[in-house]
Structure 1
Amino acid sequence: MQDPIVIAKKAAGEKAAELIRPGMVVGLGTGSTAYWAIQKIGAMVKQGLEIRAIATSEASARLAEELHIPLTTFAETQQLDMDIDGADEISEQLDVIKGGGGALLREKIVAFHSRQLIIIADQHKYVPVLGGYPLPIEVIPFGWEVTYNRLQQLGCKPLLRKKQEEIFITDNGNYIIDCAFGTIKDPAETNAALHHIPGVVETGLFVQMAHTVVLGYEDGSTQVLQR
């Protein structure tokens, strides 16, 4: 029997992929839900859909290449038509926390340069207020200790991300500090405060960037929310 959460993620990913139209330049997100969108896009390309894509991580780029999805770069295009990406939390205001997969910097660059950002997630990621999920912050390795201390002064519990006992390194050669705030009452204000700290490269707060949210449910159904 298939995992209900996998069913929900697959439903959301496939529903979003169906919004793609021929000729589009599409952002390919990163993570377990974006995986299903990329799989669906690959199937659509195999059936004759002509698009180009920019991946938000090396992992997503490898998957796209395996599925023969044509990839492009920002050297070749300045604007994407659509970006489909997952989320770790989505508030009722459609603000989003991303970065659990460690690709938040590239994800935000691609999202910022897309005409529309479609966020896909299972139903459990939709919450009244952000902050239950620790907020990922990408920081440069130099002086990360003082960056860590300054983050702590903002009222969160920071934790340097590790993988198999080694410091996790992003595709950009940076570190990630996961900050447990508990509740983020004003995402825009928190995001601005974080960006004032030298050493912070980017935050996982995507404030009022999502145009559409597709929620997948464990019975395979979906719900589409619009900003």
Structure 2
Amino acid sequence: MILYPAIDLKDGQCVRLLRGEMSAATVFGDDPAAQALKFQDAGCAWLHLVDLNGAFAGAPVNGRAVEAILAAVKVPAQLGGGIRDMATIAMWLEKGLSRVILGTVAVENPDLVRQAAKAFPGQVAVGIDARKGFVATKGWATETTVKVTDLARSFEDAGVAAIIYTDIDRDGAMQGPNLEATEALARAVSLPVIASGGVSRMEDLIALRDTGVIAGAISGRALYDGAIDLGAALKALSL
């Protein structure tokens, strides 16, 4: 199972939100590239980046910070937030991103996901953010009546690289991931599922790994707070 250290970007800074609320942001640093290097030096195989402002604006906002990260590190990175058309997808991949994450458009324009996955094989993931089993879009501000499993299954034949599943109520709350829902989703679809939201201690990572069906886990606040030692976690997950 791959552990993805998260760098969430708001106004050019590294932050973490509580349950997706922009007003509940904790700043962890003002040099995202330096933070990315710390994660790389600790041995991570991937980075998970989020343009929080972009998720609300519907277009890239923290582009300069993302580009600085890409220039600083050699490990692959995936990015979500404000990526809602083919031009933006192509732009980011050309700049060196290894994978783009499509969230809001997966609900509003699923054909774009299919077109992108076909045009850029292995480089398009679908981000599914949910509250109580239903998908939320536009930076988690808009709740829908679309069920998580239904949305994920609709992309099984599209060629997407992975599903990134975030339980919004767990995100940043340091209360553990929604293991039951994440495992159920991973068993319901053939696509790799990456868990996000609430991964706050080593035991969470081990529990996700031990399901045998979850491909990855994203953690942010716990790494910044020191609740999870990245080097130790990476070693444990490699056993």
| TM-score calculated relative to the size of structure 1 | 0.33
The structure where helix makes up a greater share of residues is: 2
Higher-RCO chain (CA-CA 8 Å, sequence separation at least 6): 1
Q: What is the TM-score when the length of structure 2 is the normalising length? A: 0.32
